[in-house]
A and B are shown apart, each in its own frame.
Chain A
Amino acid sequence: DTAVSQTPKYLVTQMGNDKSIKCEQNLGHDTMYWYKQDSKKFLKIMFSYNNKELIINETVPNRFSPKSPDKAHLNLHINSLELGDSAVYFCASSQELRTEDNLYNEQFFGPGTRLTVL
């Protein structure tokens, strides 16, 4: 019963290629996220979608394009991959309501996709 799943788990590719990572959550949450964890282990948010609508876009290059076909899925497509894109990409989800109750909502993370660009 995987709550947040990602595919693939590992991705090794050449510079300049285009690749996609898929994420699905079966928790019924309304908000999904993409995070990047670099070699220094720093975890940084990239995008957030609420009910298929882009909410957060953190100064990410245009080569990264998220797509949310429905609220249970958030995919990440990366064009023209660069060496600096090598990292672990985590998908996450949470239930976020516009009330004070959302202050302590837990975010659930997927297992991560380890991307290596050669």
Chain B
Amino acid sequence: RKEVEQDPGPFNVPEGATVAFNCTYSNSASQSFFWYRQDCRKEPKLLMSVYSSGNEDGRFTAQLNRASQYISLLIRDSKLSDSATYLCVVKGGTDSWGKLQFGAGTQVVVTP
């Protein structure tokens, strides 16, 4: 079983619509969580960290459910520029020395 699992998509979203997707993680000792964004043939870049109480950054809202071990990302008012692969990322405890576990990514395609 993979440590971080995501629905690969693609999620085809009309411009202006809302899209949401989850990922699940297997290591209950995981301590920090992130969404990274990767454009085609580019490097991953941090989109946002995910905090226990949930957090929002503009049109993006992230939620964490530790009991069920899943993380979600919601994108409101989708823009064409939101088309990308969204990587769910989990980090272990303070002894993990920055070791990140990546999901395989959820592809989002925003259409005009």
* A residues at B contact (CB < 8 Å): 31, 33, 40-45, 48, 50, 55-56, 90, 94, 96, 98-100, 102-107, 109-112
Contact = CB atoms under 8 A, between A and B. Distances in A.
Contacts, number: 52
Interface of B: 31-32, 34, 42-46, 49, 85, 87, 91, 94, 97-100, 102, 104-105
B9 to A, nearest CB: 11
Task: Determine the main DSSP class of A at the interface with B.
Answer: mixed
B98 A105 contact: yes
B98 A94 contact: yes
B97 A31 contact: yes
Contact of A43 (B31, B34, B87): B87
A99 B94 contact: yes
Nearest to B93: A103
Contact of B46 (A45, A48, A106): A106
Given A90-B43, A112-B43, A42 B104 contact: yes
A48 B97 contact: yes
A31 B97 CA distance: 8
B51 to A, nearest CB: 8
Contacts of A40: 104
A95 to B, nearest CB: 9
Contacts of B31: 103
Contacts of A48: 97-99
24 contacts: A31-B98, A40-B104, A41-B104, A41-B105, A42-B104, A43-B44, A43-B102, A45-B100, A48-B98, A55-B97, A56-B97, A90-B43, A94-B98, A100-B94, A102-B98, A103-B31, A103-B91, A104-B49, A106-B46, A107-B46, A109-B44, A111-B42, A112-B42, A112-B43
Given A43-B87, A103-B32, A33 B98 contact: yes
B99 to A, nearest CB: 6
